Copies of this chain bind each other. A is one copy, B any other.
Amino acid sequence: MDSKMVVTPWEVKGDMDYDKLIKDFGTEKIDETMLKRINKITGELHFMLRRKVFFSHRDMNWLLEKYEKGEKFFLYTGRAPSGPITLGHLIPWVFTKWLQDKFGAELWFQFPDEEKFLFKENLSLEETEKYTYDNMLDVIALGFDPKKTHFLVDTKHAGIMYKEAVKIAKKITYSTAKASFGFNDSMNIGAIFYTAMQAVPAILPSVLKKKNIPCLIPLGIDQDVHFRVARDVYPRLGFYKPAILHSIFLPGLQEGGKMSASDPMSAIYTTDTPELVKKKINRAFSGGKDTIEEQRKYGGNPDIDIPFQYLRIFFEPDDEKLKQIYDDYKSGKMLSGEMKQICIKKINKFLEEHQKKREQAKDKIKEFMFKD
């Protein structure tokens, strides 16, 4: 089994070592001083900040200083449509929603529908279009403010995006792209250009409003490389470098938390039925002992227990309740089956509500689509 960590925009595998990523990518750890500074503005800390689900950043002190001085920022995140949405995808978006509420920020949400088409041999643009629509429902269901949220679809909004993309592209050599993304010369020229399109939303509001507006990008740390490249370019075009907040990944259900894109049982999709969620969580990798007797005697290990990790990262915002679960599991008071039971209940409660809102979202897409 290959456990070497690989984290690129197109592949995440191996045993995650987030401290190593901070070092490798040259980002900064979110420390207690920063959390206090955010808390002072927002009045509370989202549990994803408290628990270091968002663990790393670029230029957040600069952004907070701007905000404290009265300069508002906008948010930018996105989704490259290529399949259905899993719970893991929702993490940066749930947090982005909180940021939108707390900072009263506009959100530009990009759907780069050409990205995965360009990087996956057998994916058609018709398929990514289908998933663009499908994925939008999940984003809308999370409750973003339609008045402050603008969807950008690359192939549809290229009329305003391509011009900015070529300005950025002119300042990125193939050598840089090759070194940063690990390309070889058999890569297609659309994939090579693509990073310029991903860079656009971080400056588009500034272009449209003809003034420099700070930008904050919450994203999974696998996407950081795009902005490592683009952040060198923005100031050369007269724009601010965007600040970035990086999240960890929700672990897959099997094999000690490793992801497997090819195995639908390794992730929970937002459209899964309660029965399927139950089945998946019951099969999930557990940190418990093999028998009830051993579990009672030695206790389980919540730190590697997938159902517990789902509670920690996403489904149990209450720190005290989470601690109780942690302690009970570790002491052996709580069995693996009970842990799974709690997790299944929480996920299904979330999904019941999410699926209802997802249905209602079908009428709202137009409201969210940016009109240029």
Contact flag A162-B155 (CB < 8 Å), given A189-B174, A192-B174:
yes
Q: Within the complex, what minimum Cβ distance (angstroms) separates A249 from chain B?
A: 28
Q: Which of A154, A162, A163, A183 has the most CB of B within 10 A?
A: A162
Instruction: Pick from B125, B160, B161, B169: contact of A189, CB below 8 A.
Output: B169
A19 to B188, CA, bound (A): 33
Inter-chain contacts of A162 with B (CB < 8 A) = 114, 154-155, 158, 161-162
Instruction: Pick from B125, B173, B187, B195: contact of A163, CB below 8 A.
Output: B125
Q: A212-250 CB contact bits vs B (8 Å, 1 = yes)?
A: 000000000000000000000000000000000000000
Question: Is the Cβ of B192 less than 8 Å from the Cβ of A189?
Answer: yes
Q: Is A136 an interface residue (CB 8 A)?
A: no
Q: Is A298 an interface residue (CB 8 A)?
A: no
Question: Is the Cβ of B187 less than 8 Å from the Cβ of A174?
Answer: yes
Question: Is the Cβ of A183 less than 8 Å from the Cβ of B188?
Answer: no
Instruction: Pick from B114, B157, B167, B170: contact of A166, CB below 8 A.
Output: B114
Closest to A157 in B: B159
Q: Is A175 an interface residue (CB 8 A)?
A: yes
Closest to A192 in B: B189
Q: Is A265 an interface residue (CB 8 A)?
A: no
Inter-chain contacts of A178 with B (CB < 8 A) = 185
Instruction: Pick from B185, B188, B195: contact of A171, CB below 8 A.
Output: B188
Q: Which of A155, A172, A196 has the most CB of B within 10 A?
A: A155
A159 to B161, CA, bound (A): 9
Q: Which of A156, A157, A173, A174 has the most CB of B within 10 A?
A: A174
Question: Is the Cβ of A189 less than 8 Å from the Cβ of B177?
Answer: yes
Q: Within the complex, what minimum Cβ distance (angstroms) separates A165 from chain B?
A: 7
Number of copies: 2
By secondary structure, the A interface counts as helix
Inter-chain contacts of A114 with B (CB < 8 A) = 162-163, 166
Contact flag A188-B163 (CB < 8 Å), given A118-B169, A158-B158, A169-B193:
no
Q: A90-121 CB contact bits vs B (8 Å, 1 = yes)?
A: 00000000000000000000000010011000
Q: Is A26 an interface residue (CB 8 A)?
A: no
Instruction: Pick from B125, B156, B158, B192: contact of A192, CB below 8 A.
Output: B192
Instruction: Pick from B174, B190, B196: contact of A170, CB below 8 A.
Output: B190
The 29 listed contacts between A and B (C-beta, < 8 Å) are: A117-B166, A117-B170, A118-B166, A155-B163, A155-B166, A157-B159, A158-B158, A158-B159, A158-B161, A158-B163, A159-B160, A161-B162, A162-B162, A168-B190, A169-B191, A169-B193, A172-B189, A172-B190, A173-B187, A174-B185, A174-B187, A175-B185, A175-B186, A177-B189, A189-B192, A189-B195, A190-B196, A192-B192, A192-B193
**A residues adjacent to B (C-beta < 8 A):** 114, 117-118, 125, 154-163, 165-175, 177-178, 183, 185-193, 195-196
- 11 more A-B residue pairs beyond the given contacts A158-B158, A172-B188, A172-B189, with a C-beta to C-beta distance below 8 A: A125-B166, A155-B163, A162-B162, A168-B190, A170-B191, A173-B185, A173-B187, A174-B174, A174-B187, A192-B193, A193-B193
